[in-house]
Amino acid sequence: MTEAEILNRLQPGSWVGKVERRALEGMLAQIRSRSPGAAAVQPQYLEPPAPSQPSGEHYDHIAISGSPAFTRATRKALDLLRQTPSWAWAKHLRGIRESPKDDGSIAGYVSGGVFTVMRNAWSAGSKIYASLIVHEGTHAARGHAIGIEEEKIAYRNQVQALRELGASWWTISTYQGHADNPTHNFDYKVPQ
């Protein structure tokens, strides 16, 4: 694909799945790394790019942006997570932001080190939300690699975080099921 074709596919209004979006962004980065003059053209991503100097509140090095309720829920989840060894995965995120649109299909996604969180995730309870931060932090730490094996790794880390947080057996077994069969979220399309 050419740069123009990739940019056309990534423009707002185009429905692109999470896996395809990551692949397209990777191809675009490769193309741009080969041609220095092309770097001046910025793609119009499906999500607004994270600011270079994140504004709003911070928790340690992590910028938090969203409603007051979202910020409180995020701080509570991070407080819990910070008391566990799984905090190491959260350190790979540079920001956590509330999704402006939410269709409830997924918990969120990470792009550029920023976790965009859907309401169903941050309102699910502090332990589950903290484990989702670990899941997306794993993706950020591993360079946003995609595929079933990458999802398995992220879910395994999430299950470990749930154990460390003292989550219920039912919650742990539910996420262990996702770790065993992580294909359920590969057809998700980012809401517009």
- What integer pLDDT is reported at residue 38 of this predicted model? 41
Per-residue pLDDT for 73 more than 50?
yes
- What integer pLDDT is reported at residue 109 of this predicted model? 86
Strand order in the sheet with 57-59: 57-59, 62-65, 95-98, 114-117, 108-111
The band of 160, judged by pLDDT with boundaries at 50, 70 and 90, is very high
- What integer pLDDT is reported at residue 149 of this predicted model? 85
Tens digits of residue pLDDT in 107-140: 888 888 999 999 888 988 999 999 999 999 999 9
Average pLDDT over residues 177-181: 80
Tens digits of residue pLDDT in 16-43: 676 777 776 777 677 776 655 444 444 3
The band of 187, judged by pLDDT with boundaries at 50, 70 and 90, is very low
- What integer pLDDT is reported at residue 71 of this predicted model? 93
* Most confident listed range (98-102, 105-109, 118-122, 162-166): 162-166
% of the chain beyond a pLDDT of 70 = 68
Is residue 94 within 8 A of residue 50, CB to CB? The reply is: yes
Both tokens of residue 86? 């799984």
Average pLDDT over residues 63-88: 94
- What integer pLDDT is reported at residue 16 of this predicted model? 65
Exposed, middle or buried, 120 (CB in 10 Å: 0-12/13-18/19+)? Answer: middle
The band of 49, judged by pLDDT with boundaries at 50, 70 and 90, is very low
- What integer pLDDT is reported at residue 117 of this predicted model? 92
Average pLDDT over residues 57-61: 86
* Rounded-to-integer distance, Cα 105 and Cα 103, Å: 6
% of the chain beyond a pLDDT of 90 = 38
